[in-house]
C-alpha cells in the first residue's frame, strides 16, 4: 500500500503530481481557486476539495476522509504537504513596497509593517500548522518563496517563528534551486521538512542531479517554429532523445497523467500540444520588442538557426536616451512619435491614433526582457497572468506561451490547464515544479521505509 498524503494550497497540482511520481497516494487536496481545482481534477484526480482553507478546519477534512473510506479511523497520514501563498515575502512584493515607500505612498521604511508586510495571506502558514497539529503525520513538507528567509515578525526571524510552531517535530530548512533537479528554471524555494520526533526516522534533503543545468532551448526546442494558436492546440514532432534537452522533452512526452474517467494519457505518439497560446503583440510592442536583446550569441542547432542577440538590452536600456537616435528609424517606419510627459513616455501615431503610456524607465528597468536560450529560465511567476513582458521569447518577438512556461516548470505535455489564458498563466506561475516535488517525495519515501 502506498503511503498516504494530503496536499494543502494545492493549486493545479504540481506538488501532488511529483509526490505521486515518487510513490505517494495523495488522498485529498484543498484548493480555493476554481480554475486551479478544475485543472487538478482533470489531470490528477477527483479528490480536490474546493474550499477556502481559512474557513475549512482540519476536523472537517478528517471527517470527509473517514466518511469516504480514504483514511481509517486509527490510520495516520504519512505526509501533510503544501505551499501556503505568502506574496509579501517574494522579491517582487518587496520591490513593489520599496517603490511605494520612495514615492511616499506607503509610510516609511521604519514602518513596523515592513518587518512582515500587512497582508493576511502572509499568515496562511498558520493554517498549515493547524492541519499538521490535527493529523499528526509522520512527516510534513512545506514549500515557500526564498524571500521568507530574510523577514522578521517583531524581533524574530520568520523562519524561527515557523519552526517553533511545530514542537513535536524535528524541522529542517533548506533553500533548493529547481534547476538542480532537472527543471530548466532557476527557481529557488525554501523547503521545510519535518519529522515526528517520537515515531519517525530522520529525513534528508535530496542532493540534486549534479549535472549541467537544462536551458530554455532544451525545454522548448521542438516548439521553436510552431506558432501559437488561438485555442492553444498545436502539433509538434520531436524525435530528439539522445541529448540532455531531448531526454528532458521525451520525459515530458511520456509522462502519463490520469483523466477523471480513470484513463491515462501521454503525448508520446500524437504530437498534440495544448495551451500553446499567448497574448497578441500590440502596435507599440511590435516596435519595442525588436530592440530587446537577451545577451546570448547566435547559434545553429541542426536545422534551427538562432539569431544573435547581443549586446544585452532591457527595457531600461532603450529609454529615454535612445528615443531620438536608436529608435528613430523604427518609429518613423511605424508612423509613431514619442515624447516625455510627466513621469512617463508616451507614443502615438502621427495621424492622430492611439496613445500609449510607457512604464517608467528608471523604476521598471527590467519590465521587458528576453530569456536567454542557452541558460535556464529565470523564475516563472504568477505575474504572467497580467503580462509576459519579463518573459519574451529568446528570439521571436512575442511573450512565451502557457505551454512554454509549463515546460520551464517541468509539467508533462499531456497535463492540460483549465480556465482562461490568464488563469492558466497564474496557475503555472504559482505551481511547485513537479520534478522538484518528486525529488522531495523520494527523500521522504526513503525515510518512511524505516518508519512504517
Residue 374 belongs to a domain with what CATH number? 3.90.120
Distance CA 351, CA 153 (A): 56
**Nearest to 33, CA basis, from 279, 406, 382:** 382
Q: How far, rounded to the nearest angstrom, does the alpha carbon of residue 191 sit from its chain's CA centroid?
A: 15
Reply yes or no on whether 275 is catalytic: no
pLDDT, mean over the chain: 88
Task: Verify that 183 and 307 share a domain, yes or no.
Answer: no
**Nearest to 146, CA basis, from 83, 209, 213:** 83
Please tell me the total count of domains within the chain.
2
CATH of the domain at 99: 3.40.50.150
Task: Verify that 229 and 254 share a domain, yes or no.
Answer: yes
Task: Verify that 221 and 204 share a domain, yes or no.
Answer: no
Task: Verify that 173 and 309 share a domain, yes or no.
Answer: no
Task: Verify that 319 and 186 share a domain, yes or no.
Answer: no
Beta bridge partners of 173: 192
Interval 103-150: pLDDT, tens = 555 454 444 444 444 455 567 899 999 999 999 999 999 999 888 776
Task: Verify that 92 and 157 share a domain, yes or no.
Answer: yes
Beta bridge partners of 300: 305
CA atoms within 13 A on the CB side of 61: 30
Task: Verify that 181 and 224 share a domain, yes or no.
Answer: no
> The cell 503583440 sits on which residue?
281
pLDDT score, position 81 = 98
**Nearest to 433, CA basis, from 31, 16, 124:** 16
Catalytic residue among 36, 86, 234, 445: 86
> The cell 486509527 sits on which residue?
74
Interval 278-312: pLDDT, tens = 999 988 888 889 889 999 999 999 889 999 999 99
CA atoms within 13 A on the CB side of 91: 8
Secondary structure of the chain as H, E, C letters: CCCEEEEECCCCCHHHHHHHHHCCEEEEEEECCHHHHHHHHHHCCCCEEECCHHHCCHHHHHHHHHHCCCCCCCCCCCEEEECCCCHHHCHHHHHHHHHHHHCCCCCCCCCHHHHCCCCHHHHCHHHHHHHHHHHCCCEEEEEEEHHHHHCEECCEEHHHHHHHCCCCEEEEEEEEEHHHHCCCECCEEEEEEEEECCCCCCCCCCCCCCCCCCCHHHHHHHHCCCCCCCCCCEECCCCCCCCHHHHHHHHHHHCCEECCCCCEECCCCCCEECCCCCCCCCHHHHHHHHHCECCCCCEEECCEEECCCCCCECHHHCCCCCCCCCCHHHHHHCCEEEEEECCEEEEEECCCCCEEECCCCCCCCCCCCECCCCCCECCCCHHHHCCCCCCECCCCCCECCHHHHHHHHCCCCCCCCCCCHHHHHHHHHHCCCHHHHHHHHHHHHHHHCCCC
Task: Verify that 220 and 263 share a domain, yes or no.
Answer: yes
pLDDT score, position 375 = 97
Task: Verify that 145 and 157 share a domain, yes or no.
Answer: yes
Task: Verify that 58 and 165 share a domain, yes or no.
Answer: yes
Task: Verify that 440 and 397 share a domain, yes or no.
Answer: no
Task: Verify that 226 and 152 share a domain, yes or no.
Answer: no
Cβ proximity of 65 and 28 under 8 Å: yes
Distance CA 401, CA 406 (A): 9
Record the cell numbers describing residue 405, joined without a space. Answer: 512556461
CB count, 10 Å around CB of 416?
22
Per-residue pLDDT of the chain (452 residues; tens, 9 = 90+): 899 999 999 999 999 999 999 999 999 999 999 999 999 999 999 988 989 999 999 999 999 999 999 999 999 999 999 999 876 555 444 444 445 445 555 454 444 444 444 455 567 899 999 999 999 999 999 999 888 776 666 677 889 989 999 999 999 999 999 999 999 999 999 999 999 999 999 999 999 877 789 999 999 999 998 999 999 999 998 877 889 999 999 999 999 999 988 899 999 989 999 999 999 998 888 888 988 999 999 999 988 999 999 999 998 888 666 666 667 777 777 777 666 665 556 666 555 566 777 777 767 788 999 999 999 999 999 999 999 999 999 999 999 999 999 999 999 999 999 999 999 999 999 999 999 999 999 999 999 997 77
**Nearest to 433, CA basis, from 401, 408, 399, 402:** 408
> The cell 529560465 sits on which residue?
377
Range of the domain at 99: 4-210+432-448
Amino acid at each position: 500500500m502506498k503511503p498516504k498524503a494530503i496536499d494543502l494550497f494545492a493549486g493545479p497540482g504540481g506538488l501532488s503530481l511529483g509526490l505521486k511520481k515518487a510513490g505517494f497516494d495523495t488522498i485529498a487536496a484543498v484548493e480555493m481557486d476554481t480554475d486551479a481545482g478544475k485543472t487538478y481534477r482533470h489531470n490528477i484526480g477527483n479528490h480536490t476539495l474546493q474550499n477556502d482553507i481559512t474557513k475549512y478546519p482540519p476536523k472537517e477534512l478528517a471527517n470527509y476522509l473517514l466518511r469516504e473510506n480514504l483514511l481509517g479511523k486509527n490510520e495516520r497520514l504519512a505526509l501533510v504537504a503544501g505551499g501556503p501563498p505568502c506574496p509579501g515575502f517574494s522579491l517582487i512584493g518587496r520591490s513593489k513596497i520599496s517603490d511605494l515607500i520612495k514615492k511616499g505612498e506607503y509610510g516609511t521604511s521604519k514602518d513596523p509593517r515592513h518587518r512582515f508586510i500587512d497582508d493576511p495571506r502572509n499568515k496562511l502558514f498558520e493554517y498549515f500548522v493547524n492541519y499538521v497539529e490535527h493529523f499528526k503525520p509522520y512527516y510534513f513538507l512545506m514549500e515557500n518563496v526564498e524571500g521568507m528567509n530574510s523577514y522578521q515578525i517583531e524581533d524574530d526571524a520568520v523562519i524561527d517563528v515557523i519552526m517553533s510552531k511545530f514542537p513535536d517535530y524535528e524541522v529542517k530548512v533548506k533553500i533548493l534551486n529547481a534547476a538542480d533537479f532537472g527543471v530548466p528554471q532557476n527557481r529557488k524555494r525554501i523547503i521545510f521538512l519535518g519529522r515526528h520526533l517520537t515515531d519517525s526516522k530522520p529525513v534528508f534533503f535530496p542532493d540534486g542531479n549534479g549535472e549541467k543545468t537544462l536551458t530554455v532551448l532544451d525545454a522548448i526546442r521542438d516548439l521553436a517554429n510552431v506558432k501559437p494558436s488561438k485555442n492553444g492546440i498545436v502539433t509538434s514532432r520531436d524525435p530528439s532523445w539522445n541529448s540532455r534537452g531531448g531526454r528532458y522533452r521525451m520525459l515530458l512526452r511520456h509522462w502519463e497523467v490520469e483523466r477523471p474517467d480513470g484513463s491515462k494519457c501521454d503525448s508520446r505518439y500524437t504530437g498534440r500540444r495544448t495551451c500553446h497560446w499567448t497574448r497578441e503583440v500590440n502596435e507599440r510592442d511590435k516596435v519595442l520588442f525588436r530592440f530587446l536583446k537577451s545577451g546570448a550569441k547566435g547559434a545553429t542547432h541542426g536545422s534551427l538557426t538562432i539569431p544573435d542577440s547581443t549586446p544585452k538590452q532591457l527595457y531600461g536600456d532603450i529609454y529615454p536616451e535612445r528615443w531620438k537616435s536608436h529608435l528613430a528609424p523604427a518609429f518613423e517606419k511605424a508612423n509613431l512619435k514619442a515624447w516625455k510627459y510627466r513621469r512617463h513616455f508616451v507614443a502615438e501615431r502621427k495621424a492622430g491614433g492611439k496613445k500609449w503610456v510607457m512604464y517608467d524607465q528608471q523604476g521598471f528597468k527590467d519590465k521587458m526582457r528576453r530569456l536567454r536560450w542557452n541558460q535556464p529560465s529565470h523564475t516563472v511567476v504568477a505575474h504572467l497572468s497580467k503580462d509576459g513582458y519579463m518573459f519574451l521569447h529568446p528570439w521571436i518577438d512575442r511573450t512565451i506561451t502557457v505551454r512554454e512556461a509549463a515546460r520551464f516548470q517541468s509539467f508533462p505535455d499531456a497535463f492540460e490547464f483549465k480556465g482562461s489564458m490568464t488563469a492558466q498563466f497564474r496557475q503555472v506561475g504559482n505551481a511547485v515544479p513537479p520534478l522538484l516535488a518528486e525529488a522531495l517525495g523520494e527523500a521522504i519515501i526513503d525515510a518512511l521505509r524505516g518508519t512504517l
